[in-house]
Structure 1
Amino acid sequence: MKNILITSAVLALISGAAWAEAHDKTVRLGTEGAYPPYNFLNDKGEVDGFERVLGDELCKRAELTCEWVTNDWDSIIPNLVSGNYDAIIAGMSITPEREEVVAFTQNYTPPSPSAYAAMSADADTQGGIIAAQTGTIQANHVVDTGATLLEFPNPDETVAAMKNGEADAVMADKDYLIPVVEESGGEIVFVGEDIPLGGGIGMAFRQSDPELKDKFDAAIQSMKDDGSLNELIIEWLGEDSPRF
């Protein structure tokens, strides 16, 4: 079975160049550019981070010419569907609700935990005010717990709200919160247990573009097979981050 999967992946990768030639286009990769270490803008104003390195490698393996486009998180799916770019690679967790609108590749990170962070270990995460980014699985979880959700368009604003007292705690991917906690010098702490949400992170495509999705799916599989995806996860997300 593994040999069959590898053969299928190789065939899909070989056809990547043919797809690009037939469609005569550069593949536009949409990301947020504001969610380190997954994606952020560096000092030159360029997209950087785990997903920049990953996306460039996937395009190379699929023999596709790609360019990066940034878009605010709260409209990132609508702008994919309307054709402003061809794929989303932006720390987007695979969920049944999103699968009703877009087509996901297999995950390129395993399901990783979400977490609460606050200025005090006694922060009320179940009945207090919790800051989370709009349109995220964490925001949905806060609503489900019965706590008061305070939404912001980008993750930096959620942390700022917690720091200035607008919110009792912030909830986000733990990979995002780890450097926030570590760089606070003890001022910010994790609260409670980690919370598993979502089915891992994948690339999202218009449902009308299955051929393009398949090219990236095959490239992701090839990186899983040769171990290079795990190497990137360790480099960018840390030794403790779940990997394949």
Structure 2
Amino acid sequence: MKSLLLGSAALALSATFALADTVRLGTEGAYPPYNFINDAGEVDGFERELGDELCKRAELTCEWVTNDWDSIIPNLLSGNYDAIIAGMSITDERKEVVAFTEGYTQPSPSAYAALSEGVDVTSSVVAAQAGTIQAAHVAESGATLVEFPTPDETIAAVNSGETDVVMADKDFLAPIVESSDLVFLGDVYLGGGIGMAFRQSDDEMRGKFNAAIASMKEDGSLNDMLEKWEIEGQF
């Protein structure tokens, strides 16, 4: 899914991780159905349900922390939380700075959407959230990229005419297209699926979550959860 501009690898912590009494899970809280803030002001969505189940299976006590997308990796590396579970695509660029679990989704499509059909996405002005794999793809496609801090701002930009097209995860765009005047223009597969990200020194904790993810794949509960939240990329 989303790909962050990583910044300096010098932020990485060199200390060996010791399992904490409470594991802090960092998420954005602004990218439904993966993660969002509900009416009660709590983290909700597919990744909230998934993270809680993974912590249960790993026999860990967890708490949720929200963080803006553009600083979500730097703040992991500086110790503000212990793991990222935020619709983050597994990419080679990120692997240079963080360590991923195995994917808890298969690669799923990104999509373009606009207010009318027939728009040439390679020569248009395209909105994408800053630091995502979609933004990187648009920048390489020949289109004019306009980046926004949040996904909601990308939708507002195309609706207002500031941009011609928006590009994002199709899972995010699908309910918006269904309930608005936007139409899909096409799909693109980017990234290597979505996984949890950890500091590279935190192998012990990452191993616990890897084992929990594997157990959910084996018993079918992960696919059930993906289906419940209408997320593509089932196993």
1:179-214 per-position Cα deviation (integer Å, ceiling 9, x unaligned): 010111xx110013x101000000000001011001
Indicate the SS of the match to 1:237. Answer: coil
Identity level (%)? 72
Residue in structure 2 matched with residue 148 of structure 1 by the alignment: 144
Indicate the SS of the match to 2:49. Answer: helix
Following superposition, the deviation at residue 237 of structure 1 comes to: 2.0
Alignment match of 1:189 (pick from 183, 186, 202) = 183
Do structure 1's residue 129 and structure 2's residue 125 form an aligned pair? Answer: yes
Residue in structure 1 matched with residue 209 of structure 2 by the alignment: 216
Residue in structure 1 matched with residue 156 of structure 2 by the alignment: 160
Residue in structure 2 matched with residue 242 of structure 1 by the alignment: 233
1:20-55 per-position Cα deviation (integer Å, ceiling 9, x unaligned): 9x7442100000000000000000110000000000
Residue in structure 2 matched with residue 89 of structure 1 by the alignment: 85
Q: Aligned partners of 2:44, 2:71: CA distance in 1, in Å? A: 20
Do structure 1's residue 116 and structure 2's residue 112 form an aligned pair? Answer: yes
Contact 2:35 2:43 in 1 (8 A): yes
Indicate the SS of the match to 1:111. Answer: coil
Residue in structure 2 matched with residue 16 of structure 1 by the alignment: none
Do structure 1's residue 71 and structure 2's residue 67 form an aligned pair? Answer: yes
Contact 1:124 1:168 in 2 (8 A): no
Q: Aligned partners of 1:114, 1:121: CA distance in 2, in Å? A: 17
TM-score normalised by the chain length of structure 1? 0.88
1:121-179 per-position Cα deviation (integer Å, ceiling 9, x unaligned): 12231011100001110000001101111001110000000100011000001000000
Q: Aligned partners of 1:189, 1:80: CA distance in 2, in Å? A: 36
Do structure 1's residue 228 and structure 2's residue 224 form an aligned pair? Answer: no
Segments of structure 1 that go 5 or more residues without pairing to the other structure are 1-19
Q: Aligned partners of 2:91, 2:19: CA distance in 1, in Å? A: 30
Do structure 1's residue 177 and structure 2's residue 173 form an aligned pair? Answer: yes
Structure (1 or 2) with the greater helix fraction: 1
Residue in structure 2 matched with residue 40 of structure 1 by the alignment: 36
TM-score normalised by the chain length of structure 2? 0.91
Segments of structure 2 that go 5 or more residues without pairing to the other structure are 1-16
Do structure 1's residue 31 and structure 2's residue 22 form an aligned pair? Answer: no
1:48-67 per-position Cα deviation (integer Å, ceiling 9, x unaligned): 00000000000000000000
Q: Aligned partners of 1:175, 1:214: CA distance in 2, in Å? A: 28
Larger radius of gyration: 1
Q: Aligned partners of 1:235, 1:156: CA distance in 2, in Å? A: 23
List structure 1 segments (4+ residues) > 2 angstroms apart after TM superposition: 22-25
Q: Aligned partners of 1:106, 1:166: CA distance in 2, in Å? A: 38
What is the identity, as a one-letter code, of the residue corresponding to 2:51?
G
What is the identity, as a one-letter code, of the residue corresponding to 2:48?
R
Do structure 1's residue 205 and structure 2's residue 198 form an aligned pair? Answer: yes
